Amino acid sequence: SNLAILASGSGSNFQAISEVIKKSHHNVSCLICDRKSAFVMERAKKLGIKVFYVTYYNRDKSEAEKEIDSILNSQKVDLVALAGFMRILSPLFTNKWKNRVINIHPSLLPKYPGSHGIEDSFNSGDIELGVTIHYVDQGMDTGPIIYQESFTRCDGETLESAEEKIHRLEHRVYPQILIKKLDNFNKAI
Ligand code: GRF
């Protein structure tokens, strides 16, 4: 099956997913990126993955989303993975792609949604830290949870050490969950 990845930033998850998918019988069809200077674009070029830049500037969100939708259709995409994509998708888009858009978030949702998931989790003092993989709906980091994995904060844990553990955890679990979903998708067809 064909996966598209939407990202806005560094793209370490994009890289981890792409490397694992390349060795599977599935395919990363393309990267769609909304930020011209995002490092994820360099990663995609190095990996030989097609890049589509979709701007959100000076136009309605619905126009940008129409463009994303037509790219997904033209690339015959089955499943979409958000990997640090820093935009909320509108109901029109999420309803059309219902159960076909997945996101990863660096906290144990429903705790600490938003763009500071790691800092907010760390500063809360919670003993358990972790990541959540979920279907995307119109909300911010809402939508049905597919998978969570946590670890226990260690003595002397710092924000930096927690961040590193969370990213390593993301890079391990996100590709595996996406492959499972892509497998299921094949069966359904
Ligand atoms: C990750 O922490 C992910 O959970 C969050 O955004 C971050 C993206 O990092 N949604 P990267 O661009 O994949 O390195």
Q: Is the CB of 175 under 6 A from ligand 1?
A: no
Element (H, E) at 152: strand 145-152
User: Cα–Cα distance between 16 and 175 in angstroms, integer?
Assistant: 7
Q: Residue 106: is the preceding peptide bond cis (ω within 30°)? A: no
Q: Is the CB of 113 under 6 A from ligand 1?
A: no
pTM of the model as a whole: 0.96
Task: Name the residue at shortest CA distance from atom 5 of ligand 1.
Answer: 84
DSSP letter at 138?
Answer: S
Q: Is the CB of 9 under 6 A from ligand 1?
A: yes
Per-residue pLDDT of the chain (189 residues; tens, 9 = 90+): 999 999 999 999 999 999 999 999 999 999 999 999 999 999 999 999 999 999 999 999 999 999 999 999 999 999 999 999 999 999 999 999 999 999 999 999 999 999 999 999 999 999 999 999 999 999 999 999 999 999 999 999 999 999 999 999 999 999 999 999 999 877 655
User: Cα–Cα distance between 85 and 6 in angstroms, integer?
Assistant: 6
> Exposed e or buried b for every residue in 12-21, given b needs 16+ CB within 10 A?
bbbbbbbebb
pLDDT value at residue 22: 96
Q: Do residues 65 and 89 touch, judged by C-beta distance below 8 A? A: yes
Is CATH 3.40.50.170 the right assignment for the domain spanning 2-188? yes
Token pair belonging to 181? 């979903």
Q: Do residues 100 and 80 touch, judged by C-beta distance below 8 A? A: yes
- Whether the ipTM is more than 0.90: the answer is yes
Which atom from ligand 1 is nearest to the alpha carbon of 82?
Answer: 10
Q: Where are the domains of the chain?
A: 2-188
DSSP labels, 74-104: HTT--EEEESS--SPPPHHHHHHTTTSEEEE
Task: Name the residue at shortest CA distance from atom 14 of ligand 1.
Answer: 12
pLDDT value at residue 188: 56
pLDDT value at residue 1: 96
pLDDT value at residue 77: 98
pLDDT value at residue 185: 77
State the catalytic residues.
105
Q: Is the CB of 10 under 6 A from ligand 1?
A: yes
User: Order of strands across the sheet with 79-82?
Assistant: 51-53, 27-33, 2-7, 79-82, 101-105, 128-135, 145-152
